[in-house]
């Protein structure tokens, strides 16, 4: 496998504070209602506890990105480090990528009338910095790694509540949330 | 609920109607070469098909955020179905023009080629609207729906151009297509109910939509009233309306996989 940068989402650490989503918004100033990173609460049928667990998701920078495959004007490209970038100047706003991505990563900018999505802050990465979401996470729940070489024991590719279109091979990896320990009177 | 995508509704229905019309006209030209009647001449049918295709393509431009970039949509033929769709429909239009301009009224070659390529173009179009993001549609169903549109609108659009002797054949084809369309459109949402969560939500959205039942009622009513050997004048607009309605629902109601993130799939 070639070099492939991917987000690592530690749902055990994530507290659902949305700081990652806000940091992304602060850097890129998306239009109202548009978010490149979203924090999805896990439903009670997946995580049936009083505590909550969250999936912080942006573009998964798939190995076989369907956005790149289906873009009729080749506005998408995959860098050598695996980041999928979108050239908004080339985009004609057909919406094919928005419909195609099962994770809803590309969004239609209603003002520009062109698609846009998470770029994994490639400019920051090229400058040796972390993406804004990773940089801002107060609990260290987000990080990036080259998943082609990193040791990812204990990390999963398809947690519950996450679409599983295997052909795309999304590069995000997750650590499942810890199950809360139930303390009964006899345990005390 | 998704956007209605009105330009795409108009584009797909008109282009598929054009393909159905061409297929019927081609069949008629073949029959005439076997000694049948080819009057009135099919040139008006060819011209109508071209007009429908052109109107549909024009409508599709309004779907783009930047319609000036439409000429660049052929840039990714190696993997994008939208690029292939543009090529297939463009080639169909060119063959239609060739058929229209062909000397003599029995240009069987152009007719057959245009019909075959038109059907292929419908299938290519269906792949564009079978995206991975919509599990209920990420299969062969868009192709089935689109071919049914061509099968229903083809005989309905061809009937005005057919001689009296061919009217009963067109009516039989129309009734058969309407019946198949009715059954498939009633069965598919029920099948979706037994799929994964997102597919089930799509099935529930269809079965709970009054417009879906209105469309089914229009189709069933048209079928019930399609008696005799000649299509009544009111039937074509009714069939076009129910197809437009069905296509609008096709774009509006399917549930995107990302809607359900965080819940069981």
pLDDT over threshold 80, residue B107:
no
User: What is the domain extent for residue B164?
Assistant: 6-260
Q: From A41, A90, A46, select the one nearest A68 (Cα to Cα).
A: A90
In sequence order, which residues have a C-beta less than 8 Å from that of residue A101 and are 6 or more positions away? Answer: A66, A67, B132, B133, B258
From the list A41, A73, A167, the residue facing B262 with the nearest CB is: A41
pLDDT over threshold 60, residue A69:
yes
Residue pair B41/B161 in contact by the 8 Å Cβ criterion? no
Residue B1 within a domain: no
pLDDT over threshold 70, residue B41:
no
Average pLDDT of chain B to the nearest whole number = 92
Q: What ipTM was estimated for this complex?
A: 0.90
Residue ranges in A53-137 assigned as alpha helix (H): 66-70, 96-100, 122-126, 132-136
Residues from chain B that touch A165, judged by Cβ atoms under 8 A, are 132, 257
pLDDT over threshold 80, residue A33:
yes
pLDDT at A179: 82
Least confident residue range of A23-37, A50-64, A158-172, B89-103: B89-103
Is residue B179 very low, low, confident or very high in pLDDT (cuts 50, 70, 90)? Answer: very high
Least confident residue range of B30-44, B48-62, B190-204: B30-44
Q: 10 Å Cβ neighbour count for A96? A: 28
From the list B67, B74, B264, the residue facing A46 with the nearest CB is: B264
Least confident residue range of A156-170, A174-188, B107-121: A174-188
- Give chain B's domain count: 1
Q: What CATH number does the domain containing B218 carry?
A: 1.20.1630.10
Q: Cβ separation of A43 and B264 shorter than 8 Å? A: yes
Question: From 3.30.70.20, 1.10.10.10, 3.40.109.10, 4.10.640.10, which CATH number describes the A5-179 domain?
Answer: 3.30.70.20
Residues from chain A that touch B69, judged by Cβ atoms under 8 A, are 73, 92-93
Residue B143 within a domain: yes
Is residue A183 very low, low, confident or very high in pLDDT (cuts 50, 70, 90)? Answer: confident
Q: Which two tokens stand for residue B48?
A: 């109508």
The domains of chain A are located at 5-179
Residue B265 within a domain: no
pLDDT over threshold 90, residue A26:
yes
Q: Which two tokens stand for residue B26?
A: 């081609």
């Amino acid at each position: 496998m070639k070099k492939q940068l991917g987000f690592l989402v530690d749902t055990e650490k994530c507290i659902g504070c949305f700081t990652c989503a806000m940091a992304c918004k602060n850097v890129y100033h998306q239009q109202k209602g548009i978010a490149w990173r979203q924090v999805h609460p896990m439903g009670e049928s997946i995580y049936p506890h009083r505590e909550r667990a969250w999936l912080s998701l942006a573009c998964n920078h798939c190995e076989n990105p369907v956005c790149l495959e289906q873009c009729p004007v080749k506005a998408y490209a995959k860098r050598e480090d695996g980041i999928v970038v979108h050239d908004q100047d080339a985009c004609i706003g057909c919406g094919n990528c928005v419909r195609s991505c099962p994770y809803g990563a590309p969004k239609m900018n209603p003002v520009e009338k062109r698609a846009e999505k998470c770029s994994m802050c490639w400019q920051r990465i090229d400058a040796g910095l972390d993406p804004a979401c990773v940089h801002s996470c107060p609990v260290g729940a987000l990080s990036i790694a080259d998943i082609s070489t990193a040791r990812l024991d204990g990390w999963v590719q398809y947690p519950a509540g996450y679409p599983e279109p295997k052909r795309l091979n999304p590069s995000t990896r997750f650590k499942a949330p810890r199950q809360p320990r139930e303390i009964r009177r006899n345990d005390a | 609920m998704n956007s209605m995508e009105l330009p795409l509704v108009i584009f797909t229905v008109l282009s598929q109607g054009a393909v159905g019309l061409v297929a019927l006209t081609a069949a008629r030209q073949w029959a005439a070469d076997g000694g049948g009647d080819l009057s009135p001449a099919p040139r008006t049918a060819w011209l109508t098909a071209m007009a429908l295709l052109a109107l549909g393509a024009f409508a599709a431009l309004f779907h783009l955020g930047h319609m000036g970039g439409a000429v660049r949509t052929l840039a990714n033929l190696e993997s994008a179905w939208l690029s292939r769709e543009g090529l297939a429909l463009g080639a169909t239009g060119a063959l239609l023009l060739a058929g229209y301009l062909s000397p003599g009224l029995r240009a069987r070659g152009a007719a057959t080629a245009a019909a075959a390529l038109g059907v292929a173009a419908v299938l290519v179009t269906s792949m564009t609207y079978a995206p991975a993001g919509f599990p209920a549609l990420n299969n062969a169903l868009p192709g089935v729906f689109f071919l049914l549109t061509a099968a229903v609108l083809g005989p309905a659009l061809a009937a005005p151009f057919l001689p009296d002797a061919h009217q009963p054949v067109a009516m039989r084809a129309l009734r058969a297509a309407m019946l198949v369309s009715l059954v498939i459109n009633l069965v598919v949402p029920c099948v979706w109910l037994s799929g994964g969560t997102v597919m089930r939500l799509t099935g529930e959205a269809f079965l709970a939509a009054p417009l879906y039942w209105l469309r089914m009622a229009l189709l069933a009513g048209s079928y019930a009233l399609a008696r005799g050997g000649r299509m009544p004048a009111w039937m074509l607009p009714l069939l076009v309306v129910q197809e437009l309605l069905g296509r609008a629902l096709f774009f509006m109601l399917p549930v995107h996989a990302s809607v359900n993130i965080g819940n069981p799939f």
